[in-house]
């Protein structure tokens, strides 16, 4: 098991998103306020409610 190479891909992906060349919104299944972060981690960890990706909002 291993981690992804986040630092290698982060900047190029952000640039593609900013340029409108890719739209990552299809993977976001849950948008929660920051106060509900523990709940977001819980549903992601246990794949509840068809959770794929949680985005925390301020």
Does the reported pTM lie above 0.85? no
Specify if 5 maps to a domain.
no
Specify if 15 maps to a domain.
no
Task: Give the structural domain span for 38.
Answer: 22-58
Dump pLDDT digits (tens) for 13-43. Answer: 999 999 999 999 999 999 999 999 999 999 9
What is the total count of domains within the chain?
Answer: 1
29's CB contacts (< 8 A; 6+ apart) are: 49, 50, 51, 52, 53, 54
Specify if 14 maps to a domain.
no
Specify if 12 maps to a domain.
no
Question: If we measure between CA atoms, which residue out of 25, 23, 22, 30 comes closest to residue 52?
Answer: 30
Quote the strand ranges of the chain, DSSP E: 30-33, 54-57
- Residue 4, pLDDT > 80, answer no
């Amino acid at each position: 098991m291993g981690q992804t190479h986040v630092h290698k891909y982060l900047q190029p992906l952000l640039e593609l998103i900013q340029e409108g060349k890719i739209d990552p919104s299809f993977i976001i299944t849950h948008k929660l306020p920051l106060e509900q972060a523990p709940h977001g981690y819980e549903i992601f960890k246990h794949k509840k409610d068809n959770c794929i990706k949680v985005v925390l909002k301020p």
